[in-house]
Chains A and B, each alone.
Chain A
Amino acid sequence: MSSAYSITRSVNPPRAVYLDFPLGRTAGKANDKPLQRKIMIDTLSALDSIQVPGTIRELPYQWSDDDAWKDLVMRPDPNNSDGHNDSRIERVTTAQYQCDADRAAAEATLAKGGCSTCVFLEDSRA
């Protein structure tokens, strides 16, 4: 499943479906179960019916009536005084919890012997 056509074209997976939605909604709109289900049924159908390796099948759903949202993606923010499109945040190796309660819950898991479902892989080159 993809909402970034050019990236998926470049990666070239065996089969793909393309949904023309803003990033962060690859499988549908929030709290719209009927649409999510239709998208997944189409996705499963593509698994079954795509015969040519590398095919990207476009799904027939639109995010909104017009495409105005596309003009705002990764464009300079007019409120940013230097005119650059710089939304970087510092990249650190500390866990980024959605909320403080999650940090406490994870610390409790670790205190009870560790997180068996958190898998940290070894890099032999590191």
Chain B
Amino acid sequence: MSEKALIIAAELRVPAAAVTTTQGREMSREYVDYIQRTREQYDDLGYTPYAWVANDDVPPFTPLAKPLQDSRVGLIASGGIYCEGQIAFHFKDDFSYREIPRKTAREKLRATHFAYDLTDARSDPNVVFPQDTLQDLAQLSRIRELGPNAYTFMGGIYSVRKVRDILAPALADRLVKDEVDVAILVPV
């Protein structure tokens, strides 16, 4: 990388002091601003700006109904995980999802996705699909159990409408039917 590119890259990191959470606590380190970098990349390629989802309202908030050690936990991940024998995702606004039974061995899990480095996900799916991690915590009684299935999809869906109006409600419906108490969402 050229010296100029390195300087530009360094400038594009967001100073930690400029960032606060809603609780006002500062981030301790500079983070990569993916919205800004995507804007730069799209400008460079002559694209119209990407329309990021921006929700300004206070999000809906439900306190936990019971302690975690008594809770059934759902898992939804967007890293393109499928299991052997299933149809893989495609890369053009694929808004289908896969049901991954709780007892699926990690050796049967696969990862397919564009725009992120799959090396680690293929070596150890838990980095984007922490099913074993949650199973271990169930063994340790940190949670009661995982739901009967986890649900996975491909994150590169450019239609906000399809995610908001079709995929998300379908997944929420599955979680309700699985009678989970809380759900962990793992985007990439």
Residues of chain A touching chain B, judged by Cβ–Cβ distance below 8 Å, are 1-7, 10-15, 18, 20, 22-31, 33, 36-37, 39-41, 43-44, 47-48, 52-58, 60, 62, 67, 70-76, 78, 84-87, 89-99, 101-103, 105-106, 108-110, 115, 117-123, 125
- Say if the beta carbon of B141 comes within 8 Å of chain A: no
Q: Report chain A residues within 8 Å CB of B167.
A: 121
Q: How far is the CA of A31 from the CA of B33 in the complex (A)?
A: 27
Q: Report chain B residues within 8 Å CB of A55.
A: 21-23
> Number of residue pairs across A and B with beta carbons under 8 Å?
266
Residues of chain B touching chain A, judged by Cβ–Cβ distance below 8 Å, are 1-2, 5-6, 8-10, 13-14, 19, 21-23, 25, 27-38, 40-41, 44-45, 52-62, 64, 67-68, 73, 79, 82-101, 110-112, 114-124, 126-130, 133-134, 136-137, 142-143, 149, 161-162, 166-167, 170, 182, 184-188
A-B contact pairs, 23 of them (CB 8 A): A1-B185, A1-B186, A3-B188, A10-B55, A24-B188, A26-B186, A26-B188, A27-B128, A29-B120, A37-B137, A44-B68, A52-B22, A58-B21, A74-B38, A85-B44, A85-B45, A89-B114, A91-B92, A95-B89, A118-B96, A121-B167, A122-B166, A125-B161
Question: Are B88 and A97 in contact, CB atoms less than 8 angstroms apart?
Answer: yes
Known: A44-B68, A123-B166. A27 touches B126 (CB 8 A): yes
